[in-house]
Amino acid sequence: MPSKAVDFLELRVDAFAGDSATLQALEKGAAKLKAPLLVTVRHPKEGGANALSATRRRELYRRFLPMASLIDVELRSAEVLKDVLMEARMQGTGVVLSYHDFRSIPPLEKLRALAEQASEIGGDVFKVAAMARNEKAVSTLLEFLTNRPRRGPQYAVMGMGAFGKISRLTLGKCGSVLNYGYLDQVQVPGQWPAELLKARLAELQEK
């Protein structure tokens, strides 16, 4: 990967947690990575691999927390993993509170309620990734993003599916932070290659 091709690397620890040797190799390799790391141990109901229990996810977050610049914990897991969130804040690690919907775009009212919940918990970023099958879905995400309260977490908002690529450019241009792409293979439909996404967003920011 070329230098500065990405700003952050997401380490999906759950994907490597099925084998202890693989996990150990990941830990060793992660310590050598130059880009800041976003550590995620995803809940099974929001796309996580290996059907990890809350106890196992807690162990893995703590194991990789020392090398993390950010951690991503789903809103649904914020209570059960509140000790992990506390430890992250104590060491100065940023907290992303996330919500994923692989079927549709939630109504605007629900998105705003979730964002308020993330704000009350104290996340630095509230991330929404939802299935965008048409232009109306993109419009909903755009309205949610552009009417963000002045106080509270920043928003990382993106679509998946048929309108995923156009949503990531549009929302990235309009202020979404942490715009995700892939390095070697698509993780969810609608992603851009990471280096190309960064270049396209840079072009859109040019005056």
Quick check: is 207 catalytic?
Answer: no
**Secondary structure (DSSP) of 137-164:** HHHHHHHHHHT--SSS-EEEEEEESTTH
Quick check: is 43 catalytic?
Answer: no
Rounded-to-integer distance, Cα 64 and Cα 144, Å = 32
Please return the burial class of 152, using the count of CB atoms within 10 Å of its CB with bins 0-12, 13-18 and 19+.
middle
Residue of 164, 100, 105 lying closest to 126 (CA atoms): 100
**Looking at 34, 82, 110, 127, which residue is catalytic?**
127
**Looking at 100, 110, 136, 165, which residue is catalytic?**
100
Residue of 48, 42, 100 lying closest to 71 (CA atoms): 42
Alpha carbons within 13 A on the beta-carbon side of 50: 18
The set of catalytic residues is 100, 127
